[in-house]
Chain A
Amino acid sequence: MFQIRCPYCGPRDEPEFKYGGQAHVAYPADPEQLSDEEWTRFLFVRDNSRGRYAERWNHAAGCRRWFNVIRDNGTHEMVGSYRSGEQPEEAR
């Protein structure tokens, strides 16, 4: 079980949170111009690399706010977390 630092509430146990997958996946700027291949990538393909990974979590049983976490998915080391709208470099 992880301990996750919610940027708003502080460190809490993992069962208080819901996972939201890869962070910083922007909605296409001009969706009507997307090819089928580009849609496939946006809808179905997410980064699945090993190592430090930026991901979204929701503090579902707390403040109910979304935020981002940097976690090493090879070792489960929690590197830091930061608010939506902030950048990975601001993680702490």
Chain B
Amino acid sequence: MDPNEHALHNAPFLWRNPEPKASYDAVIVGGGLHGLSTAYYLAKNHGLTNIAVVERGWIGNGNAVRNTTIIRSNYLWDESAAMYEHALQLWEGWGEELDYDILFSQRGVLNLAHNLHDERESIRRVNANRLNGVDAEWLDADAVKEFCPIVDISPEARYPVMGATLQRRGGIARHDAVIFALGRACDALGVDIIQGCEVTDIDVVNGRVTGLQTSRGPIAAGKVGLVAAGRTSLLTAMAGFAVPIQSHPLQALVSEVYEQVLNCVVMSNAVHVYVSQAHKGELVMGAGIDAFNSYAQRGGLHVIEEQMSAGMQLFPQFSRARVLRTWGGIVDVCPDASPIVGLTPVENLYVNCGWGTGGFKATPGSGWVMAHTIATGEPHALNRPFSLERFETGELIDEHGAAAVAH
């Protein structure tokens, strides 16, 4: 089906479906949540309204609708804590600001510890979070049971629960609603959201970007921001440089709809699953990536099986739940599991990628700093450490294993 037709059927009132103009001050490539968020803040914070978001598919087709909607900011390292906490603070006012019920629910995020090493690392992270102004608590096993009664804390478990960190301000939001809210807000500010518009080449003249070749014709652009997650490498290759990213499938699943039984988000590194229950009642589960590179938006069933077995270890009563649907998206994984947001070797071309398995939570903050970077030509203080150069200088932000979840 023509993607535009699809969008028209589904969202005729939230945003226009304009023809691309010949030229824009800035074009964002990628109509996912981070791309829309970038366009929103370019218009709102920086007054750029002659701008467009170009999307190869349609709005609400890619990772925007494939994530598990978890929001938290309890990252270990200072740079990440600052970035994600800024995003969380924006989430706290976003529904009101966008005038849309995005069902942001600060129900708390538990990160379980299953062995002595987990416990020490967790307490270290709680202390690091507090020093960075991020709310964090350490709960022993009994307190975990009190906070989330359906978690199995029996000592006979193969990986017994020894305790957990708790970020009370963490939680979930409804990702569809966030898409609708952002699309509508961008459109109202004058942003052209152009769907079914695939970038086929990037025009670079004397080291400076001048426009895009697309499936809907050439578009001249003063500035270009690449916000294309798993397809970033294909775009940067058009502009003549590479990013240290590998594209992998990340799978998730939902159960059939049940009464509310799970009152918070539960994540476990050692058993390796993260679980929450959507407002409507589905249990939502995810875990790690499929190991291989892929652009095919699907992965192996054994990965889903591992997630479910981990889920059942923590919640024995889930053994009788039934899977409704599984799916995969393509995530952009960086060697240090931290994003790249900033300048590129090409003038006026900016990149925002590498959020890997955890981009949803960063949506408002990512757009905020990317918009600043595009509008001013300089990174915002929050994304300065997340530069492409860090792989050359060695100033990595190594969140593999440090960020409260295995990636």
Contacts and interface: CB of A to CB of B under 8 A. Distances in A.
Is the A/B pair a real complex? yes
Interface of A: 1-2, 14-15, 18-19, 21, 36-37, 39-41, 43-46, 48-50, 53, 55, 71, 73-76
Given A44-B244, A44-B335, A49 B296 contact: no
Nearest to B233: A48
B242 A45 contact: yes
Interface residues of B, number: 23
Contacts of A44: 244, 335, 391
A1 B302 CA distance: 7
A55 B293 contact: yes
B293 A53 contact: yes
Nearest to B236: A48
B398 to A, nearest CB: 12
A1 B296 contact: no
A71 B245 CA distance: 19
> Which 9 A-B pairs have CB atoms at the shortest separation, nearest pair first?
A19-B291, A48-B233, A44-B244, A1-B300, A40-B392, A50-B295, A44-B391, A45-B244, A44-B335
B301 A1 contact: yes
Given A14-B302, A40-B392, A44-B391, A73 B291 contact: no
B292 A50 contact: no
A73 B293 contact: yes
A88 to B, nearest CB: 16
B292 A49 contact: no
A41 B234 CA distance: 17
Interface in B298-331: 298, 300-302
Contacts, number: 61
B200 interface: no
Nearest to B237: A49
A73 B292 contact: yes
Contact of A46 (B234, B246, B298, B300): B246
Contacts of B247: 48
A46 B245 CA distance: 7
Contact of B234 (A14, A37, A43, A50): A50
A76 B294 contact: yes
Contacts of A14: 300, 302
Given A1-B302, A14-B302, A48-B233, A37 B296 contact: no
A2 B246 contact: no
B296 A76 contact: yes
B328 to A, nearest CB: 11
B309 to A, nearest CB: 13
A15 to B, nearest CB: 5
A71 B302 contact: no
Contacts of A45: 242-244, 391
Given A37-B392, A48-B233, A19 B292 contact: yes
Contacts of A43: 335, 391
With most chain B CB atoms within 10 A of its CB, the pick from A1, A71, A75 is: A1
B234 A49 contact: yes
B293 A36 contact: no
Nearest to B291: A19
B311 to A, nearest CB: 19
10 contacts: A19-B292, A46-B246, A48-B233, A48-B243, A48-B245, A48-B247, A48-B293, A50-B234, A55-B292, A71-B292
